[in-house]
Homo-oligomer: A and B are copies of this chain.
Amino acid sequence: MTERKWLSRRALLAAGSLAATGAPALGAEPQGRRLGEGRRFYGERSPFETSARSFGASTLPVPTGASRTPLQDLFGIITPSALHFERHHSGVPAIDPAAHALVIHGLVEWPLRLSMSDLRRFPSVSRIHFIECAGNGGREHRGDPGATAALSHGLLSCSEWSGILLRTLLQEVGARPTARWIIAEGADASRHVRSIPIEKALDDTIIAYGQNGEALRPEQGYPLRLVVPGWEGNVSVKWLQRLQVAEEPAMARDEAAVYTDFMPNGRSLHFTFEQEANSVITRPSGGQHLERRGFHEISGLAWSGRGRIAKVEVSTDQGRTWHAAELQGPVFTKALTRFRLPWRWSGGETTLESRATDETGYVQPTREALVAKRGLTPGPDGFLHYHGIKRWFVKASGEVSHV
Contacts and interface: CB of A to CB of B under 8 A. Distances in A.
Interface stretch (A255-263, A289-297, A302-310, A377-385): A289-297
Q: Classify the interface of chain A: helix, strand, loop or mixed.
A: loop
A31 B222 CA distance: 12
B111 A36 contact: no
Interface string A188-230: 1100000000000000000001101111011100110000000
B99 A31 contact: yes
B122 A6 contact: yes
B51 A214 contact: yes
A77 interface: yes
A96 B32 contact: no
B78 A7 contact: no
A22 B333 CA distance: 40
A74 interface: yes
Contacts of A66: 39
Contacts of A287: none
Contact-size category for A: 35 or more
A272 interface: no
Given A122-B297, A124-B340, A241-B27, A189 B76 contact: no
Contact of A77 (B11, B94, B126, B175): B126
A113 B15 contact: yes
Interface string A24-35: 111111111111
A110 B15 contact: yes
Interface in A113-129: 113, 117-118, 120-126
B1 A170 contact: yes
15 contacts: A1-B171, A5-B172, A7-B121, A18-B103, A24-B103, A25-B103, A39-B55, A41-B52, A41-B53, A41-B55, A41-B67, A42-B53, A74-B213, A75-B126, A124-B299
